Chains A and B, each alone.
Chain A
Amino acid sequence: MTSPSRRSFLVGSAGVVFTIPLFSAACSDAQHSPYEVTNSGGLQDAWVHIDPSGAIRIRAAADEMGQGSLTAQPVIFAEELDADWNDVTVEFSDPDELVFGNPQPWTLGMMLTAGSSAVPGYFDKLRMNGAQVRKYLLGVAAKQWQVPIETLITQPSRIIHEASSRTMTYGEAAGLADETAVLPDLSPDELKSPSEFRLIGRDIPRRDVPSKTDGSAQYAIDMVVPDMVHATIVRAPTIEGRVVGVDEGQALAIDGVIEVVQLDDIVAVIANTYFAALEGERALSIDWSQPEIGGDLNSSEMLETLVATARDLTSSGAPIQNTGDIERAFAEASAVHASEYRAEHVYHAQMEPLGAVASVMDQGQKVEIWAGTQAPSHLLRSVSTELGIEKSAISLNRLYSGGGFGRRTTEGQDYILDAVRLSRHLARPVKVTWSREADVRAGCFRPMAGQVVRVAEDQNGDLIGWHHRIAAQSTLRQADPFRFTRYAEVPYLSSAGVDTFYSIPSARGEILEQAVGARVAPLRGVSLPTNEFAAESMMNEVARAKQIDPIEFRKIHLSQNPIAISVLEAVEKISPWQERPGLGVSLVSHGGTFIATVAEVHVNRATGILTVPRVWVAVDVGLAVQPGNVRRLIRGGVVMGLSHALIEQVTIRDGGVEQSNFHDYPVALLEHAPDITVEILETSGVPSAVGELGGLGVAGAVANGFADLTNRNIRHMPFLPERVLDALR
């Protein structure tokens, strides 16, 4: 049913592009035509339903995990529809990727809420479709009134013929619509000009917020269906681990526990109440196989192996950037700077423990699922493969995600498949909720990384060579083999930040992919926070060695980057930059834009505790569809980035994750949250990525603030007290 067509798209940044073969996700089981409207009790198009009463229902394709897309996407559509926002309600679209697939090429047309793309990715598509529906409604009124369509204008939710002072509401026009029709063609110059925007750029309150203040917002964990049982899951400590034996006696003795189920790589406790299942989980004793891959992984030793690999210049990795003549630059250098950087695994720690409800029916021929997911396309594919059924036999109810941060993007959709597999096994509806301990131990982490950055200077002190090498596990190979194989097996997700945007005549960035054997997944910004920590630390080290103001030094090497320069200048202006020491800066490129971060760093030299009371951020988002939301997302990202920089790390010993809950995996609390000032620039008028931006530059800015304060460098994330004390020694 799939007929892939081969085309190409370009990916990369800083002037480096790669051609990647792309298979279009065309398939024949589309539920909507993107161009057709029907009228049976209201006008229905793929994205919108307009009731004769005037009520307008607009669908959002993206997941709602706190980033606000459930409001922002309908706002964009409503803008061009010229709808009165008070008439609009919002809902999740169904998982039909032909209509609702993410237009960003790197998603391969999937429904995938990732890479901060929900607004920039869908922006044109939503505007065009909204405007087409408006034009169709104008046509209905023109026909009804027998006037040329050009003589009609719209005001929110109404069509007006000024010459005759006639008006028709959108509801009335919808009632008059043809039974079926094709949406009219529209050229992009028929779209509104930004000066005509009434919704975009204003702060429209998020539609999900009220339900998130009274307890009524529904997440998978809150779903109850008739005849449902509860399940906890214990997953093998390693990717390829399998159940060898289970001592289930104590679990079965617990009041309310129904059954203990072994399924290859998981053991599930089935119970009448979740608490009984949780107690059952704690009472289990399980023997797991110790597979070759990851079975004896010790992360601290592995990190040293990664650093050694990055250091060994005789090996070469996948070239992500290669300009000029790097060998010659270093051979001719008068001075070379080189440093090693380390970053540990970190955990998503989304506040809703993973889980889903599934009801497999008709002897496995049909399934209904209730879940929050960033990747409905992956989910349909995984469930279809698991049950051997058509995607059309899968009914998915999309719920709010209690945090996503990339954890819900994985191709396998492990936490939802658990519910599907158990429901098939038990032949009844099952709610799976991972305990927090299971969520940590079977976490899919941001990979640890060992990096080396080298910089060559000529006799004039000009930078002539930049060489960045990262040794790490590929996030994509394991978390999303579907995309990995179609990206020609280059681990692009691990590469962001390895390709420098500074103007240096010779530059090489390479990834040395290592088979670490840990569970990994994209995590808010993927490799950028760690790779840019290394690159921006090095940029700072060179600036300091040359005794040049680190902002000035960056600007010297940004001749082709007006946006980068403008965010640096903006952050210099809003921060007390001239009041150093104790301030550090970083500059990060993501999703077509730049973010500049300044952090104020304090250090307790006795305890080694770093604190960051204030952070200033300047970013050019092109166009802020929801400006307040942009600020809040960036502030939230700063907090998460700071948490990753200062306190979070997962360690793995003998193949098992050593942490289990928030007592041994602490994350930033209110007491750690800095005062954050955000400056937003909107140069291009086209929205850029936002959701991941805030956290990307924090580690670099903090490391550089530490260097500014102490004249020492800290090169191992997170900056735990013992590492700070080491750096100070």
Chain B
Amino acid sequence: MRHLIIVNNQEQTVDVPSHTPLLWVLRDQLQLMGTKYGCGVSQCGACTVHVDGEAMRSCVFPISAAEGARITTIEGLSPTSDHAVQKAWIEKQVPQCGYCQSGMIMAAAALLAQNPRPTEEDIRRDLTNICRCGTYSDIVEAIRSVAEEPSND
């Protein structure tokens, strides 16, 4: 079945079964490999993208539900990869193996978009993605550094 979706500001038509999760459309059809498969059951968050600005776990989000929605992946978060969260991630040297970090960055960016000055409490409650390397304290530090930037209003 054909589905029209808007990914990183580009209209895309894909021909896949309607129950295909958005994750696999992004990876297998559109070759957007930054969004990762970690569990397939919405537990780990490695597949997090934005759907109409909201963080969404794409591994359980069927393409039929994405019809017409604006989808942003890690590749489209910033045209030059310099979104405040990406810059903070580099500044704080957050990633270790890095596999979960696309999802982490997308989750953090969505959080900051809705709540520009999250407390540590907010961050701990909102970010439920798994990082097996245990970069959590660096993630908190990076998000807080973005939140404290004067321009972030």
Mark A residues whose CB is within 8 Å of B.
65-68, 203, 205-206, 208-219, 221-222, 224, 230, 255, 273-275, 278, 349-353, 400-405, 433, 435-436, 628-629, 632-633, 635-640, 643, 661-663, 667-671, 673, 675-676, 694
Contact = CB atoms under 8 A, between A and B. Distances in A.
Given A273-B28, A274-B24, A629-B93, A671 B40 contact: no
B132 interface: yes
B103 to A, nearest CB: 9
11 contacts: A209-B95, A211-B98, A213-B105, A274-B27, A274-B28, A278-B40, A400-B97, A402-B98, A636-B134, A640-B133, A670-B139
Interface of B: 16-17, 20-21, 24, 27-29, 31-41, 43-44, 46, 73-75, 77, 81, 86, 89-90, 93-102, 105, 123-125, 127-140
Given A639-B136, A669-B130, A673-B137, A402 B99 contact: yes
B138 A635 contact: yes
A674 B140 CA distance: 12
A179 B94 CA distance: 43
A273 B24 contact: yes
A215 B33 contact: yes
Contacts of A667: 130, 132
Contact of B133 (A219, A636, A670, A671): A636
Contacts of A670: 123-124, 127-129, 131, 136, 139-140
B72 to A, nearest CB: 12
Given A213-B105, A214-B86, A400-B98, A349 B123 contact: no
B43 A67 contact: no
Contacts of A669: 128-130, 136
A219 B99 contact: yes
A215 B37 contact: no
A215 B128 contact: no
A224 B31 contact: yes
Contacts of A205: 90, 93
B39 A661 contact: yes
A608 to B, nearest CB: 22
A662 B45 CA distance: 11
A681 B40 CA distance: 43
B36 A221 contact: yes
Given A66-B133, A351-B97, A671 B37 contact: no
Contacts of B137: 635, 673, 675-676
Contacts of B43: 661-663
A221 B37 contact: yes
Given A274-B27, A671-B125, A675-B137, A212 B132 contact: no
Contacts of A68: 96
Contact of A403 (B29, B73, B77, B133): B133
Given A275-B20, A632-B93, A670-B127, A208 B98 contact: yes
